[in-house]
Amino acid sequence: MGIDLKVKIGSLELNSPLILASGTCSLETFAFLKPEETGAVVLKTVTLKPRQGNPPPRLAETPAGLLNTIGLQNPGVEKFLEHEIDLYPSSYKLVGSVGGETIDEYVEVAKKLEASNRFAAIELNVSCPNVNKGGIEFGRDEMLLLELVKEVRGAVSLPLWVKLTPNTSNIEKIALETSRAGADALVVTNTFVGMAVDIETQSSRISTLSGGVSGPAIKPLALYLVYRVAKNRNVAVIGGGGIFNFRDALEFLIVGAQAFFVGTAMLVNPLAAKEIISGLKEWLAGHGFHSIKEIVGTFREPS
Amino acid sequence: MRSKNKKFCLSKSRVILNQELAQRRFLLRFEAPEIAKKALPGQFIQVKVGGFDPLLPRPFAVSWTENDYIEILVEVRGKGSSLLAKAQEGESFNLLGPLGKGFSLPKGNTKNLVLVAGGIGLAPLRFLAWEASKNGYFITLLYGDKNQSCFLPLKKLLPEKVLVRSIVEEKNGQTGMVTDLLKDVIEEFKDSCFFVCGPKAMLKEVYGQLARKKIVRAQFSFEERMSCGYGACLGCVVLTKKGYKRVCLEGPVFEGEEIIWESI
């Protein structure tokens, strides 16, 4: 089964279309991965200053879904580069995820990550629903987002990915403008804002009012957003949201994503990435394909 | 599935035994040689039940191991645990483990251990009791539970040598909580090492009592909503003097002194 797994996201060549989503991968995860089958691993978002994160409970399970309110817990970019980055294996393409409260903070963190020479790309997290300042504000406010992408683009030369929020009504426009501002790839999509109520106590099941929903529950919603963004063919799209098996991954590729990311599935089963890749290879070979690229964007519009 | 560097492994394991111990409480024994070989008291496993609903695996303390077998104690609380309680012997589940940092037995002269268990919190302490008694420690168990019908069969579960003092909340006659038991006997055990597992409010009360008596050698096993179980998602945290720590990776066992108890 000689399936060519390689894909290109802008100028960056990846070993496979499978990318591990930010916040769902730890050092322990690598024991369950293979570098030749892994496109890239997006590390947990880092910010300029350390962030303690939100109080527990940070998680609530919903039918086929996971509601979280982690709140970008991280040690801050300096500690991260000093103590943590060297622990990650160099045989993988690592992507640094950047968060911030101001444009200057994003720029500074991106520059520091680039200077470490450990990253293949930078991902801007402009879509975290669980922080008071920054995060999702940038993803929703077009003008602010454009300025942010332009500023970071001007400050670093690494490929720039922007992880968009689904919690907006005009994702096509935001996507188009973001790519014009210099993003090399759009990552669609981050979690959907949601909530869950404990009926016994009549209060939120997580420590905050709302959180981000991921998992199979959001797959059809995410898929439709990816379809809409990928229709504009000017920019690479990395699609995902609730991908749990190779069939899910194929759906995202068919509607036009050049690569896909897996997140919550890894929390349920650390072998999910491996299983998805072997399923993909087998399916593509069985259907007469020779490479991943051949399936991308093959969706047939209803007549 | 297992590779060289892995501290834990994923295995498809058969249920060898599923026994109802008390009301809504079950003992499950799995054939899981890799996990059995590595597991230490205080560590836990993740059991995947169902497909997309429940979605996440469920954490259970390893409660006993021998040769190729491990046991867990299951209390029926929600969807995951009720499915698991219905598991047929011969049925297989994906297990991930052993996970987390367990208890550490005292070195040196301290040979007296006090285990304080609230209800199903007995699960990890049971494994500790077996290991510790093999190693010549003297063990006293303080055990409290809701009522007689959910009361666990301690004789069956524990090594013979363990001294047991127990109490139930709802009963005619002497009633109370395990923390009341502790109050009565704490003076006798000032030089002992304490191991505690149960609901958070109980952990906090036990810590308070020990702290007032200046007993510092106490390890607490925490429970928190979890997803991955191996440190990736930062979902299951407890506030410590060094910030939020992951219950699944830096815990589930923490020294009492590490925790910011006001946050509990």
Mean pLDDT, chain A, integer: 94
Compute the count of residue pairs across chains A and B with CB atoms less than 8 Å apart: 106
Best residue in B45, B222, B234, B242 to probe A by mutation, most A CBs within 10 Å? B234
The phi, psi pair for B212, rounded to 5°, reads -65, -30
Tell me which of B6, B55, B83, B263 to substitute to probe the interface with A (most A C-beta atoms closer than 10 Å). B55
Residue A142 has pLDDT above 90, yes or no: no
Q: How far A233 CA sits from the closest chain B CA (Å)?
A: 33
Q: Say if residues B264 and B203 touch (Cβ distance below 8 Å).
A: yes
Q: What is the pLDDT of residue A138?
A: 72
CA atoms within 13 A on the CB side of A172: 6
- Tell me the β-bridge partners of B243: B240
Please enumerate in sequence order all residues whose Cβ is within 8 A of that of B166, keeping only pairs 6 or more positions apart, or say none.
B141, B142, B143, B144, B145, B151, B154, B181
* Partner-chain residue, chosen from A44, A56, A271, that has the shortest CB–CB distance to B224: A56
ipTM: 0.93
What is the mean predicted confidence (pLDDT) over A213-240? 95
Q: How far, in whole angstroms, is CA B39 from its chain's centroid? A: 13
Question: Do A70 and B1 make contact, defined as CB atoms within 8 angstroms?
Answer: no
Which pLDDT belongs to residue B3? 40
Question: By three-state DSSP, how is residue A193 classified?
Answer: strand
How far apart (Å, rounded) are the C-alpha atoms in residues A186 and B134?
58
Instruction: Name the helix (H) or strand (E) containing B254.
Output: strand B253-255
What are the pLDDT digits (tens) for A186-207? 999 999 999 999 999 999 999 9
Instruction: Tell me the C-alpha distance between A136 and A188, whole Å.
Output: 14
What span, in angstroms and rounded, lies between the C-alpha atoms of A274 and B186?
A: 53
Task: Give the H or E element holding residue B197.
Answer: strand B193-197
- Provide the pLDDT confidence category of residue A135 given band limits of 50, 70 and 90: low
Amino acid B108: pLDDT: 83
Q: Are A295 and A253 in contact (CB under 8 A)?
A: yes
Number of alpha carbons in the 13 Å side-chain half-sphere of residue A247: 2
- pLDDT the model gives residue A132: 65
> Smallest CA–CA separation between B74 and chain A, in Å?
19
Three-class SS of residue B13? Answer: strand
Residues of B in contact with A24 (CB under 8 A): 228, 232-233
Distance CA A260, CA A2 (A): 20
* pLDDT per residue as tens digits for the range B77-101: 999 999 999 999 999 999 999 999 9
- Residue stretches of chain B with pLDDT short of 70: 1-6, 172-174
Strand B9-22's sheet: what is its strand order? B58-61, B44-48, B92-99, B9-22, B25-31, B69-75, B64-66
Catalytic residues of A: 128
Distance from C-alpha of B144 to C-alpha of B117, rounded to nearest angstrom:
6
Spell out the residues 6+ positions from residue A43 whose beta carbon is closer than 8 angstroms to its own: A22, A25, A88, A94, A95, A96, A97
Is some CB atom of chain B closer than 8 A to the CB atom of A60?
yes
Separation of alpha carbons B141 and B123, rounded Å: 12
Size of chain A, expressed as the number of residues it contains: 303
Q: How confident is the model at residue A130 (pLDDT cuts 50, 70, 90)?
A: low
Inter-residue contact A38 to A270 (CB < 8 Å): no
Report yes or no: A57 at the B interface, CB cutoff 8 Å: yes
Taking the model in full, what pTM does it have? 0.94
Work out the angle between the directed axes of helices A142-155 and A103-115 (0-180°, nearest 10).
Answer: 30
The structure tokens listed for A210 are: 């709302």
* H helical segments located in A197-291: 219-230, 246-254, 264-268, 272-286
Q: How far is B163 from chain A (nearest CA, A)?
A: 36
The values of phi and psi at residue A96, to 5°, are -90, 125
Yes or no: say if B28 and B49 are a contact pair by the CB < 8 Å rule. no
Q: Kindly report which listed range (A36-40, A75-79, A127-131) carries the lowest average pLDDT score.
A: A127-131
pLDDT at residue A259 is higher than 70: yes
A55 to chain B: which residues are within 8 Å by CB? 239, 263
CB < 8 Å from A in window 43-102 of B: 48, 52-57, 94, 96
pLDDT score at B4? 41
pLDDT of residue B196: 98
Residue B172's pLDDT is 67
Measure the CA–CA gap between B64 and B71, rounded to whole angstroms.
5
Mean pLDDT of A223-234: 92
* Cβ neighbours of A270 in B, within 8 Å: 10, 96, 228, 230
DSSP 3-state of A72: coil
Give the span between the Cα atoms of A22 and A260, in whole angstroms: 13
Q: Tally the C-alpha atoms within 13 A of residue B28's C-alpha that lie toward its C-beta.
A: 32
The full set of domain ranges for chain A reads 7-295
CATH 3.20.20.70, domain A7-295, yes or no:
yes
